[in-house]
Chain A
Amino acid sequence: MKIRSKTPLKALACFSATLALSASMVTTSFASDWTPSRAVEYIAPANPGGGWDTLVRTTANVIRSENLSDVNYAAINVPGGGGAVAWAQIARDSRNDHKLFATSPPIILVPLAGTSRFNHTDFTPVARLITDYSIVLVREDSPYQSITDLFDAIGENPRVSIGGGSAAGSMDHISIAGAAAASGLNAASVNYIAFSGGGEAMTSLLGGHVDAVITGAGEASAQLQGGELRALGVSAPERIPGLDVPTYQEQGLDYTFDIWRGVMAPKDISEDALRYYEDLFARMMETDSWAEATERLGWLDAYQGSEEFGEFLDEQLEQFRAVLGDLGLLRN
């Protein structure tokens, strides 16, 4: 029953993709002659449904429906250890030109916290694709009107609590602690309350159990429309289109925090393969299907090629290392 239900959809998708292709007559110009000779293993280091998985499946779908490659990009879930299980597997497979994986700040944070032996330098950056930003929310009736109000309050009363959807020492905590440090506070003075998901943190804020919540801007947009919550600031360098929230920088706080996502490959893949994938993702991001997908998912394009992405990762490492050091959580 289910098989039959899906096939027409697939056929329809293929059909429309063919139409789109013949209409635009995409001319493919490869940066090199190398092309994958078999299916590419495309790993999401987490269970189906999360951010990495969505990135892998969406990009694989766009590549297929736009006919950007002759081979299949097979989405493979390797969950466990916040990514560490997959990283350990991929690290054993250096020089494999037919393997890619989705990545984001945890590839830097998890090793720094000491729970993964491998970090971004053990892999080849291919491309940064998209980004999201942190946003700080309070209840509509909260006394705080700006991000500086909040940090002033924390300075006076260390019990002011800020909830987040991930463990202490991971993304949300680093983001808010870094902002607090930039405002002149001690990073460790943020009373960060870890919840097991952004949703739980937001429910707790709605009920007034915590004073503020830090989460991804994409995740918060529904709540902001509802009018029960209010945003104090967003960690983007400039305002996010369609989201009427001032940046930290506008409020005199020189701090940005990217929740970026990108693609990496095993260490020491061939130069030709790297160029091929770099180019593949660059072309993918110019397609209509990609534009449609990012629109739906609320992603902001933030492409960087391999070299630029690598430098960006090194900067991130320094930024995170500093914050974790302030928090006393640096274990590696």
Chain B
Amino acid sequence: MESFTNLMYGFSIALDPINLMYVFIGVFAGTLIGMLPGLGPMSALALMIPITFNLNPATGLILMAGVYYGAIFGGSTSSILLNAPGVAGTVATSFDGYPMAQKGMAGKALAIAAYASFVGGTISIIGLMFIAPLLSKVAVSFGPAEYFALMVLGLTAVVSLSDKSLVKGLIAAIMGMMISIVGMDLQTGTERYTFGSIELLEGINFLVVALGIFALAEVFYMLLSGNKSTPKRNAIGSLKLSMAEVKDMAAPVGRSSVLGFFTGVLPGAGATIGSFLGYSMEKRLAKDGDTFGKGNIKGVAAPESANNAACGGSFVPLLTLGVPGSGTTAVLLGALLVMGVTPGPMMLEQRPDVFWGVIASMYIGNIFLLVLNLPLIPYIAKILDAPRPLLLSLILIFCMVGVYGLSFSSFDLVLLLAFGLIGLVMRLYGFPAAPMILGLILGALMEESMRRALQISGGDWSIFIDKPISLVLLIIAALSLGLPVVKKMIQKARA
């Protein structure tokens, strides 16, 4: 009941005409930034800090939060239409969203992404409102050992993500991990696989790899396959979902939202990992799991609800502990400090207006996003009607500009090309891209957390099974690897 009163108080702030305007500006700008491949919410927010100087703290955070979740919302558009992920959190959306667009169901894919994002966002706000302080305890209970176990669990998804050949899937995952450890090793400051290049010291940017492997490789592939075998792609298709489809997606969206939200709460995990976990969980649970990756609607709904929920979840550690869980929330924290608000355990008492105002504004922002995006879908999807040569050239421009805007470095453009060619080879010879991206996301995190844990324990491996959370996660990981094998063996025995 208390939450309800607080929420009403929050709405009284968020519904103020000025704040309402800033929610709108925020989500609108965020959607645009999200749609552009490469350019993500982090740089956008950092560059907005001077604007927020002149704003009331509640208004400032309402604006910036709007840009953040607006970008995650909008990022799905380019993933679906161009196979070029707009932000890191929407890479998984392209697995099924792009095939859907290829089949002439772009409109439906975009609509599903919008609905799923809306539901994921809303569920995370409800979670944020009722159990944020409680969840902050969950967030701090995750130490290096627990993170390691979580990463191991995440990596077991490689098995379900590599459909044709397990060996090829595993090779792709290992290559992803190899890419992830390039650069300076945090624990020792040692350079690894940099070939003496200072450009590689900070590692390889995730989006450079993702845009290369997905978007650029796709352009090359389309060039290679020539004009004849191009699928008919000028149909955008209907936006309408059938009752059966809605029923089919309800459970995956619900599950992925909850999973995404909890992933978002953990500092360092966030939307990208959340969307992958959601996707691979649904692929395993679905009866038609083998059609994932070929345009299954649940394959769009799951990652989209998970990444938006994770975005909401990332506000839990930020607002209740005052610690940022990601680069983007670190910028938000910086902005709040500049505006004279110190997020943390005292924030609920000191600045309830900021806390509840932002939460209430998120409800409004999510509705804005839905209302704003749905009518625009037919227009945005028109880009697919562009003549093929022009479309290919435009995809290339978006990728190049996106990558350049990410690091302002020609070196990264060359890297993008290299990953585009690697992606093409993988595509031609049946190496799945998803496990590679998964290895890339989880590899370095897994290594780092394992070494951190062992350094704390003085080299004692029992730290991973002494901690209950870590033990449970590792058991789940073992089960999820073991069960399918056992199932197969039973089937074989019967046959």
Taking the complex as a whole, does A directly touch B, i.e. does some CB pair lie under 8 Å apart?
yes
Question: B-contacting residues of A (Cβ < 8 Å)?
Answer: 1-2, 5-6, 9, 12-13, 47-49, 53-54, 57, 61, 76-82, 84-85, 88, 113, 115-116, 158-159, 161, 167-170, 191, 193-197, 199-200, 202-204, 206-210, 221-223, 225-228, 296-298, 329
CB distance from A59 to the nearest CB of B (A): 12
Q: Contacts A197-B324, A199-B323, A207-B143 known; A168 to B188 CB distance under 8 Å?
A: yes
Contact A199 B333 (CB under 8 A): yes
In the complex formed, the residue of B with least CB distance to A75 is B47
CB nearest to A87 among chain B residues: B198
- Chain A contact residues, majority secondary structure: mixed
A169 to B190 Cα, complex, angstroms:
10
Please give me the 4 A-B residue pairs with the lowest Cβ-Cβ distance, nearest first: A209-B143, A49-B46, A48-B46, A207-B140
Name the A residues within 8 Å of B455 (CB-CB).
161, 191, 193
Kindly provide the distance from the CB of A325 to the nearest chain B CB, expressed in whole angstroms. 15
Question: How many angstroms between the C-alpha atoms of A238 and B323 in the bound complex?
Answer: 27
Contact A159–B187 (Cβ < 8 Å): no
Minimum Cβ distance to chain B for residue A250 (Å): 25
CB-CB under 8 A for A206 and B28, given A223-B322, A298-B337 = no
Contact A80 B199 (CB under 8 A): yes
Contact with A along B1-39 (1 / 0, CB 8 A): 000000000000000000000000100110010000000
- A79 and B407 contacting across the interface, CB-CB below 8 Å: yes
Q: Which residues of A contact B343 (CB under 8 A)?
A: 222
Cross-chain contact of A226 among B29, B42, B199, B345 (Cβ < 8 A):
B345
A54: chain B residues within 8 A (beta carbon): 49, 334
Nearest CB in chain A: distance from B406 CB, A: 9
Contacts of B172-197 to chain A: CB distance below 8 A: 184-189, 191
CB distance from B358 to the nearest CB of A (A): 17
Is the CB of B342 closer than 8 A to any CB of chain A?
Answer: yes
User: What B residues does A204 contact at CB under 8 A?
Assistant: 140, 143-144
Q: Note all chain B residues with C-beta closer than 8 A to A196.
A: 186, 268, 448
Contact of A49 among B43, B139, B202 (CB under 8 A): B43
Partner of B189, one of A79, A113, A297: A113
> A77 and B408 in contact (CB under 8 A), knowing A9-B51, A84-B198, A206-B140?
yes
B contact residues around A5 at 8 Å (CB): 25
Residue of A with least CB distance to B53: A296
Q: Which residue of chain B lies nearest to A157 when distances are taken between CB atoms in the complex?
A: B458
Are A329 and B408 also in contact (CB < 8 A) when A116-B198, A222-B343, A225-B342 are? no
A-B contacts, 20 listed (Cβ < 8 Å): A1-B28, A6-B51, A13-B54, A48-B42, A49-B331, A80-B202, A80-B411, A159-B456, A196-B186, A199-B317, A200-B268, A203-B140, A204-B140, A206-B321, A209-B143, A210-B456, A226-B322, A228-B345, A296-B340, A297-B337
A199 surroundings in chain B (CB, below 8 A): 267, 317, 323-325, 330, 333
Q: Are B268 and A49 in contact (CB under 8 A)?
A: no
1/0 per residue B260-273: CB within 8 Å of A? 00000001100000
Q: How far is the CA of A49 from the CA of B330 in the complex (A)?
A: 8
Chain A contacts for B49, CB-based, 8 A: 54, 57
B392 within 8 A of A: no
B158 → A minimal CB distance (Å): 24
Judge whether B201 is part of the interface by a CB distance below 8 angstroms. yes
Q: Mark B325-343, 1 if CB is under 8 A from A, else 0.
A: 1010011011001111011
- Complex: A257 Cα to B139 Cα, angstroms: 32
A203: chain B residues at CB < 8 Å are 139-140, 142, 267, 317, 321, 323, 325
Q: Which residue of A lies closest to B43 (CB)?
A: A48
Q: Does any Cβ of A come within 8 Å of B165's Cβ?
A: no
Q: How far is A73 from B485 in the complex, measured between Cα atoms in Å?
A: 63
Contact: A169 with B201, CB < 8 Å?
A: no
Give B463's nearest chain A residue, CB to CB: A209
B50 at the interface (CB under 8 A from A): yes
Residue B141 at the chain A interface, CB threshold 8 Å: yes
With A168-B187, A222-B322: A48-B25 Cβ-Cβ less than 8 Å: no
Nearest opposing residue in chain B for A197, CB measure: B330
Residues of B within 8 A of A210 (CB): 143, 456
Contact present for A80 and B345 (CB under 8 Å) = no
Residues of A within 8 A of B189 (CB): 113, 167-170, 329
B323 in contact with A81 (CB, 8 Å) = no
Closest chain A residue, CB of each to CB of B201: A81
Known interface pairs A195-B452, A203-B321, A222-B337; A49-B45 also in contact (CB < 8 Å):
yes
Do A207 and B267 touch (CB < 8 A)?
A: no
Q: Which residues of A contact B53 (CB under 8 A)?
A: 296
Does residue B380 face the partner (Cβ distance < 8 Å to A)? no
With a CB–CB cut-off of 8 A, which chain B residues contact A113? 189
Q: How far is the CB of B45 from chain A (nearest CB, A)?
A: 7
Given contacts A2-B29, A82-B184, A225-B346, contact A48 B452 (CB under 8 A): no
Asked if A167 contacts B184 (CB within 8 A), the reply is: yes
With A48-B47, A209-B145 given, name 19 new contacts (CB 8 A): A12-B54, A49-B43, A79-B408, A81-B199, A84-B198, A84-B201, A161-B456, A167-B184, A194-B187, A196-B268, A202-B321, A203-B140, A207-B139, A222-B322, A226-B345, A227-B345, A228-B345, A296-B339, A296-B340
Q: Is the CB of B267 within 8 A of A200?
A: yes
CB of B344 closer than 8 Å to a CB of A: yes
Chain A residues contacting B407 (CB-CB under 8 Å) are 47, 79-80
B409 part of interface (Cβ distance < 8 Å): yes
User: Least Cβ distance of B25 to chain A in Å?
Assistant: 5
A44 → chain B, closest Cβ, in Å? 10
Nearest chain B CB to A288 CB, angstrom units: 14
Within 8 Å by CB of A9, from B54, B141, B144, lies B54
Knowing A1-B28, A161-B455, A169-B189 are in contact, say whether A221-B342 is a contact too (CB < 8 A).
Answer: yes
> Is B29's CB under 8 angstroms from A1's CB?
yes
Q: Are B202 and A81 in contact (CB under 8 A)?
A: yes
Smallest CB separation, A115 vs chain B (Å) = 6
> Contact: A193 with B456, CB < 8 Å?
yes
Given that A159-B458, A209-B143 are known contacts, is A82 also in contact with B201, CB under 8 Å in the complex?
yes
B188: chain A residues within 8 A (beta carbon) = 167-169
Measured between alpha carbons, how far is A298 from B409 in the docked complex, in Å?
32
Q: Is the CB of B142 within 8 A of A207?
A: yes
Indicate if the CB atoms of A80 and B448 lie closer than 8 Å: no
Cβ-defined contact, B345 with A194, below 8 A? no
Task: Contact check, B330 vs A47: say whether CB atoms are below 8 A apart.
Answer: no
